[in-house]
Amino acid sequence: MSVYMAEALRLAALAIGRTSPNPLVGAVVVRDDKIIGRGYHQKAGTPHAEIHALAEAGKAARGATVYVTLEPCSHHGRTPPCSDALIKAEVNKVVIAMRDPNPLVAGEGIAQLQRAGIVVEVGDQAPEAARLNEVFLKYIATKLPFVTFKTAMSLDGKIATAGGESRWITGSETRQWVHRLRDCYDAILVGSGTVLADNPELTARIPNGRNPIRLVVDSRLRIPLSAKLLSGAQTTPVIIATTHLAPQAKIAALQALGVQIMRYESAQVPLPQFFRDLGQIEITSILCEGGSTLAAALFTQALIDKVHFCIAPKIIGGDAAPGPIGGNGIAVLKDALQLHELDVQHHGSDLILTGYPVHA
């Protein structure tokens, strides 16, 4: 592990939530054991990390070593190839954390550098680089969005009281963390039950925050036209997935508000197809904050890639108080969904447990 690659990874992370559908990439130029250029990809369509770092280094980049978190691109997309820029700058060596699985690159960036006589090393902090780009890696391989499930619950696993009260189970520090989390995702997903029960805005209320696209699964279009999340649909998109059971008049009324309707010829919204359709419009990541019914469908169909369980030190109790995941559940413990790569953080008095489901 090098301190230089660690700095490149830190730079790349500065743009979390801003580069979709592109990857997060950071780069540093090093000469005589000193960083002389830094850069990171800030937004799709703008210069890549290597270009920023080389520009800061200037002519001193000649003969230097460049550390970059992902294989330099070798094709003309919205911007010129970074491999060409590195060759033109006459750098001596390029250290790459991981290869780019994008079929348009897939080793060709490395090959171009090597053909130009540049020394290339691959693998420095590859696991960290892969985790940083978990959204991009899934999307580029499958054209499906990376789906994260987030829930807030009491210590005894309740997301509301028996009477339906759920605000606020977790503390203010956790709620601020959730707003920052929303800012990192392309879209946020709930079911119609959550809209009817809580009337959420689903916005990222933080300084310089970016509101995610609002997604609602509503088979019969039960949500009212006065729902808070429908406000501002002209500027922050709202997409509702529904079925042939939805009234045409309600579809027209929602469309008049600027809402995009995805209608499916089925009694229930086919979530795998819905996610495929979202991938086609370059929605690469989804944060699911839906209730127990939507959560059960997502877990049952193995559509969840990552989970955040926000646990408050409170005990609610009651047989009728709901838990975070509904449905029939499993019959025997050996069928329980396992999580790996667990991480636990403290936010105020709450715990946030993060993990990755191990799907069969």
- Report CA 200 to chain centroid distance, whole Å: 20
- CB atoms inside a 10 Å sphere around CB 152: 24
Q: State the greatest distance between any 2 C-alpha atoms of the chain, in Å, as a whole number.
A: 70
Residues involved in catalysis: 50
Do the Cβ atoms of 46 and 17 come closer than 8 Å?
A: no
- What CA–CA distance (Å, rounded) separates 266 from 284? 25
Which distant-in-sequence residues (6+ apart) come within 8 Å of 296 by Cβ? 325, 326, 327
- Report CA 14 to chain centroid distance, whole Å: 14
3-state secondary structure string across the chain: CCHHHHHHHHHHHCCCCCCCCCCCCEEEEEECCEEEEEEECCCCCCCCHHHHHHHHHHHHHCCCEEEECCCCCCCCCCCCCHHHHHHHCCCCEEEECCCCCCCCCCCHHHHHHHHCCCEEEECCCHHHHHHHCHHHHHHHHHCCCEEEEEEEEECCCCCCCCCCCCCCCCCHHHHHHHHHHHCCCCEEEEEHHHHHHHCCCCCCCCCCCCCCEEEEECCCCCCCCCCHHHCCCCCCCEEEEEECCCCHHHHHHHHHCCCEEEEECCCCCCHHHHHHHHHHCCCCEEEECCCHHHHHHHHHCCCCCEEEEEEECCCCCCCCCCCCCCCCCCCCHHHCCEEEEEEEEEECCEEEEEEEEECC
